[in-house]
Chain A
Amino acid sequence: MKAVRYLFGILIIFLIVFPFYWVIVSSLKPADQILKPDLFPKALTLQHYRELLDQTSYLTNLSNSVLVALGTMLCSVLIVIPAGYAIYRMKFAGRKFVSRLILATYIFPGTLLLVPVYQMMSDLHLVNSLWGLIVINVTFAAPFSVWLMQGFFDSVPVALDEAAAIDGAGRMRTLLQIILPLIGPGIATISIYSFITSWTEFAFSSVLITSEELRTLPIGLNAIMGQYTVRWGWTTAGAVLTLLPVVVFFAFVGRFFVRGLTAGAVK
């Protein structure tokens, strides 16, 4: 039984790690060796990376991605926290309706909305604008974030709100000065969730962005792939450069994120 568990564990680790290893190693192989199945490269080169940075718009794509992800993160925190506070800590008529409405967004998802969102954005002159991407990314990051915040709001004793009310603090002051510092881990979790949702978004970015200089990383990478199908050096190097920022980011905040996801999902 123990042997089976170890075997299963090793298999899973291999399954997760191997694709990373293989693409990273391939991206470092010289052009004449990249198509050979050597598990360990005979020579290493940064040539593909240099070419990618010089000849493609990788850096522009990167800065677009960062801007959109930060914007998405900021906007969703700003709308999720007040909503979560009202839904999970206040009594008001229509509370159930609001929380159902937020969940209902899952029923009308992505692709079904590509067309009408494109039309709406074009009426609002938000086609081919990073703002348009931020707007739609928040739509898809916020509902799950509200749901995640429930566990965090529930972990703060209601007695604190009552004590604050007796001391004469209004609802907003209670939220800002008393609750906010206590739900820090929750805010971190939904920030990271929004960031990742935005960083990986593909469908809307490919429809809403029409000019090359506003492409985000996934779209830029898709273009490199389509244009140079056989240039696996660029494609693998591009893949590494696209996953690298988010993996570095995750190395710092991953612990908090998984802990937060665990705490938030429990309720």
Chain B
Amino acid sequence: MEVLGKNNVLGKLVPYLLVAPIVIWIAVTIFFPLFNVIKESFYNTGFVGTKGSYVGLDNYKEAVTSPAYWEAWTKSLVWVLGNSIAQTLLAFAIALLLNKPSRFANWARTWMIIPWVIPTIVVGIFWQWIFNGSYGIFNHVLMSLNLADKPVNLIGDNTWSLPVTIFINTWHWFPFMAVIVLAGLSTISHEIYEAADVDGANKWQQFWKVTFPSLGPITFALGVVGTLWSFNIFDTIYILTGGGPAGATTTVPVFIYQQAFESFQIGKASATSIITAFFLIVFVSVFIKYGTPKED
């Protein structure tokens, strides 16, 4: 009997042993560094690897009173909203288009995700080449259609750079979103639509009364994770514009990067990171509290 008892204790330990590797991995690479950010945010550390002296809440005070930080938040809000709206619309439209069994739909489902598969740097090169301000094909088309009389440098333009960067990032990400929406659509049984047909509901009513509510959980997950993902996108912007021109595309992550690695103010960048993470946590909590789909 004693052996059995020992086995039982071991058996209780098994799940903890199984989750231990991933929990340790995440703790070491995310939560441990996070403590470091919190610590550094109270020091006036400059260069990475140097030691600063304790300055209390100075970094925080400077961060919240810095107009550049709030300017970055405005850009981030435009960035997140623009990306979410464009990607959601495209993803839903494409998913609805491909949500019927046909050879083409099958093939298209696989291959349409290709813009998401390629590295951001390649996406950057694609569109910098197309939108190039001197000899890009886009300018050539604009000019031959008489829509512009001289080449325009959209990516380097004060007003256009942010929308164009949003467009390029949308091109990179919407296929992934479309696949997730398609996954949600595939769970809705055809019988519901047939019943709706019998009841005389038109396609538009069917979408709002059947399709949309069934997609609740997936839309919710995309809402939380997708928003965080797009808020935190750094590479697309950094590769395309480096945050310019004149800060026109400096979203919060780009701002933090510049503070840390270009102005060498690790302390300030850490405080900025903490304040930003705080807002993200508030966003996620509010979203989960009011946005969780009701189960019935």
Taking beta carbons and an 8 Å cutoff, which residues of A are in contact with B? 5, 8-9, 12, 15-16, 19-20, 22-23, 26, 35-37, 78-80, 82-83, 85-87, 90, 92, 94-95, 98, 101-102, 105-120, 122, 135-136, 138-139, 142-143, 146, 171-172, 196, 199-200, 202-203, 207, 217-218, 221-222, 225, 232, 235-236, 238-239, 242-243, 246-247, 250, 254-255, 257-258, 261-266
Contacts and interface: CB of A to CB of B under 8 A. Distances in A.
Given A114-B260, A247-B117, A86 B18 contact: yes
Contacts of A243: 118-119, 122
Given A16-B112, A37-B137, A200-B120, A110 B14 contact: no
Contacts, number: 238
A109 B37 CA distance: 13
Nearest first, the 5 closest Cβ-Cβ pairs linking A and B are A116-B33, A111-B253, A86-B18, A202-B235, A19-B126
A250 B117 contact: yes
Interface of B: 11-12, 14-19, 21-23, 25-26, 28-30, 32-34, 36-37, 40, 48-49, 90, 93-94, 97, 109-115, 117-122, 125-127, 129-130, 135, 137, 140, 171, 175, 179-180, 182-184, 186-187, 218, 224-225, 228-229, 232, 234-235, 238-239, 253-254, 256-257, 260-261, 266, 269-270, 273, 276-277, 280-281, 284
Contacts of A218: 119-122
Given A243-B122, A265-B179, 20 more contacts: A20-B114, A20-B126, A22-B126, A26-B129, A78-B21, A82-B21, A108-B30, A109-B228, A111-B253, A112-B256, A112-B276, A120-B28, A120-B33, A120-B36, A143-B26, A200-B117, A236-B125, A258-B109, A258-B113, A262-B179
Given A105-B26, A120-B36, A202-B119, A171 B183 contact: no
Contacts of A202: 119-121, 235, 238-239
A246 B117 contact: yes
A236 to B, nearest CB: 6
Contacts of B234: 110-111, 203
Given A86-B15, A243-B122, A112 B277 contact: yes
Contacts of B119: 199-200, 202, 217-218, 221, 242-243, 246
Consensus secondary structure, chain B interface:
helix
Nearest to A99: B19
B180 A265 contact: yes
B36 A111 contact: no
A105 B37 CA distance: 15
B118 A23 contact: no
A218 B124 CA distance: 11
Nearest to B24: A79
Contact of B228 (A12, A107, A135): A107
A22 B225 contact: no
A262 B84 CA distance: 21
B167 to A, nearest CB: 10
B185 to A, nearest CB: 10
A83 B19 contact: yes
A235 B256 CA distance: 29
B32 A235 contact: no
A97 to B, nearest CB: 10
Given A12-B94, A85-B18, A143-B26, A116 B125 contact: no
Contact of B260 (A87, A101, A115, A232): A115
A78 B97 CA distance: 37
A107 B235 contact: no
B237 to A, nearest CB: 10
